């Protein structure tokens, strides 16, 4: 298993689906472990009844059907399926609406979905998902990207209320890829993924949605900056190490 995860870390991020397929066929006995530890770009389905798209994930799946957060129905229809309680469903509806606004503010497009369900410990788990196609032909406002994809998966485990406080444990995963193609720099592509966790204890009186929303906003921002500065920055550093820019080279000559 260690080796399988190692392989997945080294394969080009854009090929992660093929790599996972390959591993699943080589070591099918580890399928559930692999599928639960590896993130892949999100898939989308259209809920024709409500006319909106929703994101597919393990948390809204039952057998081969997926539950739409808009209509709360399984597509394709499924008998005897799992649903959140009516109270949780109310929270889920509110979460979807407000997360859609959040998504629009930061992403200027894209698709979002929120799924909730009760867990064993009298708390609940919520999964906030965003998928954005930032390419010229997608929702990219500035037309910079030939190809651009951002997939965000935020899973928050909310503990039971104790003395008016609750534990929130957030695990965020961002997967992205972008490619620009122009005259001067040719084809320039960056892709990758990053995952972090964040735990907080917050007052329930502030509202679960506020608490979760603020955590997600904070961690998403941190991950975006980290990807941009640290991760992409390291690749930029590597390019300069391979071939230092001309000015530096010229400065060296007088010494030799």
Partner 1 sequence: MPLVVITTTWHCPSQQNDTVMINERSRFNRRSCTENFISVMTNVSLQSSDYRRRQSLSPANCFLEKAMADEEDELPETELSYDQKKEIAKWFLLNAPAGEINYVAKDLKAVLSDEEVYNEAAMEAFPVYNKSHMICLEMPSRAGDVIVSSYSEITENEYLDPRTAQVAIVDHVKQICTKVRPANDEELPSLYIEEYRYALDAEIQRYVSESYPKGMCAVNCVKGKDTEGPGSDFELVVIITAMRLSPQNFCNGSWRSVWNIDFQDESQVLDIKGKLQVGAHYFEEGNVELDAKKDFQDSTIFQSADDCAIAIANIIRHHETEYLASLEVAYSKLPDNTFKDLRRKLPVTRTLFPWQNTLQFSLTREVEKELGLGK
| Separation between Cα atoms, residue 239 and residue 249, nearest integer Å | 14
Asked if residue 122 binds partner 1 (CB under 8 A), the reply is no
At its nearest, how many Å lie between partner 1 and the CB of residue 166?
Answer: 14
Asked if residue 42 binds partner 1 (CB under 8 A), the reply is yes
Asked if residue 213 binds partner 1 (CB under 8 A), the reply is yes
Which of the residues 134 through 163 are near partner 1 (CB under 8 A)? 134-135, 140-145, 148-150, 153, 155, 157
**DSSP structure string for 37-68:** H-----EEEEETTTTEEEEE-GGGEETTEEE-
**DSSP structure string for 125-169:** EEEEEEEEE-STTTT-SS---SEEEEEEEEEEEEPPPBTTEEEEE
Asked if residue 43 binds partner 1 (CB under 8 A), the reply is yes
Asked if residue 112 binds partner 1 (CB under 8 A), the reply is no
Asked if residue 243 binds partner 1 (CB under 8 A), the reply is yes
Residue choice 72, 198, 204, 232 for contact with partner 1 (CB under 8 A): 232
Q: CA distances (Å), 178 to each of 17, 39, 104, 109, 186, in order?
A: 17, 18, 20, 16, 14
Asked if residue 116 binds partner 1 (CB under 8 A), the reply is no
Which among 117, 85, 112 has a CA at the least distance from the CA of 99?
Answer: 112
| CB closer to partner 1, 22 vs 165 | 22
Which of the residues 72 through 111 are near partner 1 (CB under 8 A)? 75-76, 82, 90-91, 94, 97-98, 101-102, 105-108
Asked if residue 224 binds partner 1 (CB under 8 A), the reply is yes
| Separation between Cα atoms, residue 171 and residue 161, nearest integer Å | 20
At its nearest, how many Å lie between partner 1 and the CB of residue 162?
Answer: 17
Residue choice 86, 164, 234, 254 for contact with partner 1 (CB under 8 A): 234
| Separation between Cα atoms, residue 194 and residue 47, nearest integer Å | 30
Which among 218, 112, 228, 204 has a CA at the least distance from the CA of 170?
Answer: 218
Q: 88 phi and psi, to 5 degrees?
A: -65, -35
At its nearest, how many Å lie between partner 1 and the CB of residue 101?
Answer: 6
At its nearest, how many Å lie between partner 1 and the CB of residue 163?
Answer: 19
| Separation between Cα atoms, residue 62 and residue 48, nearest integer Å | 19
Asked if residue 238 binds partner 1 (CB under 8 A), the reply is yes
Asked if residue 51 binds partner 1 (CB under 8 A), the reply is no
Which among 132, 172, 128 has a CA at the least distance from the CA of 149?
Answer: 132
Total residues interacting with partner 1, rule: CB under 8 A: 131
Residue choice 190, 198, 200, 204 for contact with partner 1 (CB under 8 A): 190
Residue choice 85, 137, 201, 229 for contact with partner 1 (CB under 8 A): 229
């Amino acid at each position: 298993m260690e080796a399988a995860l190692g392989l997945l870390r080294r394969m080009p991020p854009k090929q992660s689906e093929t790599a996972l397929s390959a591993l699943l066929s080589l070591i099918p006995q580890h399928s559930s472990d692999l599928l639960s530890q590896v993130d892949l770009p999100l898939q989308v389905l259209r809920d024709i009844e409500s006319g909106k798209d929703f994101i597919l994930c393990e948390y809204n799946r039952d057998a081969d059907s997926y539950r739409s957060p808009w209509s709360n129905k399984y597509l394709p229809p499924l008998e005897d399926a799992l649903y959140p309680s009516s109270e949780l469903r109310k929270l889920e509806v509110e979460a979807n609406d407000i997360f859609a606004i959040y998504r629009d503010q930061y992403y200027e497009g894209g698709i979002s979905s929120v799924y909730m369900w009760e867990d064993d410990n009298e708390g609940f788990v919520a999964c906030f998902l965003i998928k954005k196609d930032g390419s010229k032909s997608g929702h990219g406002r500035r037309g910079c990207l030939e190809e651009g994809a951002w997939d965000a998966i935020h899973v928050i485990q909310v503990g039971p209320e104790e003395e008016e406080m609750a534990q929130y444990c957030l695990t965020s995963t961002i997967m992205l890829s972008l490619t620009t193609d122009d005259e001067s720099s040719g084809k320039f592509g960056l892709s990758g993924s990053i995952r972090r966790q964040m735990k907080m204890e917050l007052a329930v009186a502030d509202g679960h949605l506020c608490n979760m929303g603020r955590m997600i906003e904070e961690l998403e921002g941190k991950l975006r900056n980290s990807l941009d500065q640290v991760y992409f920055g390291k690749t930029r550093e590597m390019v300069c190490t391979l071939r230092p820019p001309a000015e530096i080279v010229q400065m060296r000559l007088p010494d030799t």
